[in-house]
Amino acid sequence: MLERTTTAGVAGRSLVDLLFAIALMAIIASTAMASFAAGTTRLRSDAAARHVAQLLREARARAVRDAATVAVRVEGVGERSSLRAYRDGNGNGIRTTEIAAGTDPAAGAAWRMTDEFPGVTFRVPRDVPAIDDAGTIAAGSDPVRLGPADLVSFSPLGTSSSGTVYLAGRDGVPYGVRVLGATARIRILAFDAARDAWVER
């Protein structure tokens, strides 16, 4: 004798199946959204580091072209920090006192990173080895390692002072933009926590 399935039984099973499918889709969607958000944050940090490097390269090119020292200085702190280029106005190099006096004038408008790359700031989000092998840099310490004047200077010969600026986005992955003095080579690095090492981008 064949069993008869009631309409109520079929409807009950169909509703359970539907609810299960909806719950499964919600889990998959939330996981995908989290991965997408993390990827977007990483791309933004990477783009910000590349933009900082490009501003430094442009300053070097301007110094060679104009046969005058050009410097890029980090000004302000946190989300209000910005980069601005200055040109040597009297032939003795870039000096903070002469920037303040207007002798070394600004060579363009200030660029604020958070205006273009929200959530990315100059900061050290975690303890990391210094890119220049000078020990460990503690989380929360000064991310601008360009000397006491917080600037990197490019000469008409294409050389520069040395230093590193550190930055990070909301995901806390540290990036570094490093300038090497003798050659003025500019490197972009990201810290790989799994390898506990800086990796060139």
Query: Can you name the residues that pair with 152 across neighbouring β-strands?
Result: 72
Is residue 2 situated within a structural domain?
no
Q: Amino acid identity, residue 126?
A: R
Q: What is the pLDDT of residue 133?
A: 73
Q: What is the mean pLDDT of residues 9-13?
A: 58
Q: Can you give the residue range of the structural domain that contains 91?
A: 9-200
CATH of the domain at 120: 3.55.40.10
Is residue 3 situated within a structural domain?
no
pTM of the model: 0.79
Residue-wise DSSP of the chain = ------HHHHHHHHHHHHHHHHHHHHHHHHHHHHHHHHHHHHHHHHHHHHHHHHHHHHHHHHHHHHTS-EEEEEESSGGG-EEEEEE-SSSS---HHHHHHTSS-B-S--EEHHHHSTT-EE---S-EE-TTSSSEEPTTS--EESTTTTEEEE-TTS-B--EEEEEE-TT--EEEEEEETTTTEEEEEEEETTTTEEEE-
Is residue 117 situated within a structural domain?
yes
Q: What is the pLDDT of residues 22-76, one digit of tens each?
A: 766 766 655 545 444 445 677 999 999 999 999 999 999 999 999 999 999 999 8
Is residue 1 situated within a structural domain?
no
Is residue 38 situated within a structural domain?
yes
Number of domains forming the structure of the chain: 1
Is residue 190 situated within a structural domain?
yes
